[in-house]
Chain A
């Protein structure tokens, strides 16, 4: 397993360039380990993000050899080409510096898609009964494990073509809330995701699903939203 990796890392802002580093190759090394090694041993000013290192926080996503990935759980041995690794910031988001992107547009889209729970009960009310095998609960389960890593957002061509498109992560979130029987703002949310930047822009080409590190299927969630929107239009509710 020992040897040397030739690692090209993006340096600078949008007009930056790739810089090459030689990094020792170790067994079970992750891409995040490589970036951290470079920052500690070669380039202390290298900017990048991580927090949990165990695939929970969603902050470590980067483009690795052209594909967006969570770097803390991507083993070098799985993605290296020969001895070459190219590590760049995520696509479809403004670059702040090096490997750190500005996540603001991503989270603004969550807000625009009404990606927050609106409770209908207070703390004195009894808990809502929800059968674990009911269709609504299952639909929520299928999409709830999102860690907001923006990997799908970076992979989506429609996000690249149409800056107003809400994108797979925000729409996946909207779909889980649409199926949450406790939520009190489903009509307004459906209106929000039916608009110009909404779910009807999705081409269903499943790039989001292919790259999602949590194995979620935003394409299916968006298809659900499209059905809900079409139904609402036919019933005169939109």
Chain B
């Protein structure tokens, strides 16, 4: 059942994202308030398996979650169905994953 699988993927990705988003926001505040420079941030993230895993998971969950959400909005607003809708879902998901993966690679590699 595809609708059921998409539904479950949407819920599970939301459960994963909720704590990650909070930690991410906390990190931003910490880095800005602490006045960390770009070099200091990179020194902590580069080569770190922990940050690679954290933001890697973040990117995957966000790509899955947003792609399914956009799919629903487009289907309900414009009546898209079938292959067009599947193609759009895949494009949004892969696009977001690509952008996110590039950003993660830039800070951890």
A residues near B (Cβ < 8 Å) are 158, 161-162, 191, 194-196, 198, 200-201, 226, 229-230, 232-234, 238
- A-contact 0/1 string along B3-37, CB 8 Å cutoff: 11111100100000000000000000000000000
Q: Which residue from chain A places its CB closest to the CB of B11 in the assembled complex? A: A230
Q: Is the CB of A162 within 8 A of B7?
A: no
Query: Within the complex, what minimum Cβ distance (angstroms) separates A204 from chain B?
Result: 12
Query: Within 8 Å of chain A (Cβ to Cβ): is B75?
Result: yes
Set of chain B residues within 8 Å of A198, measured between Cβ atoms: 3-4
B6 and A200 contact, CB distance less than 8 A: yes
Pairs across A and B, CB under 8 Å, 15 listed: A158-B76, A194-B3, A196-B2, A196-B3, A200-B4, A201-B3, A226-B7, A230-B4, A230-B8, A230-B11, A233-B1, A233-B4, A233-B8, A238-B1, A238-B4
Chain B interface SS verdict (over half): helix
| C-alpha spacing A157/B3, complex, angstroms | 19
Q: Is the CB of A195 within 8 A of B1?
A: yes
Chain B: number of interface residues, binned into ranges: 10 to 19
B3–A195 CB distance below 8 A: yes
Question: Which residues from B are CB-within-8-Å of A230?
Answer: 4, 7-8, 11
Q: Collect the chain A residues with CB atoms within 8 Å of residue B2's CB.
A: 196
A161 touches B7 (CB 8 A): no
Segment 59-80 of B: residues with Cβ below 8 Å from A: 75-77
Measured between C-beta atoms, what is the minimum distance from B72 to chain A in Å?
Answer: 8
Known: A162-B75, A200-B4; 13 extra A-B contacts, CB below 8 A, are: A161-B76, A162-B76, A194-B3, A194-B4, A195-B3, A198-B3, A201-B3, A226-B7, A229-B4, A230-B4, A233-B1, A233-B8, A238-B4
B94 to chain A, nearest CB (A): 23
A13 CB to nearest chain B CB (Å): 23
**Nearest neighbor of B2 in chain A, beta-carbon distance:** A196
Complex contact B1–A194 (CB within 8 A)? yes
Residues of A within 8 A of B11 (CB): 230
A44 to chain B, nearest CB (A): 40
Q: In the complex, are the beta carbons of B8 and A234 less than 8 A apart?
A: yes
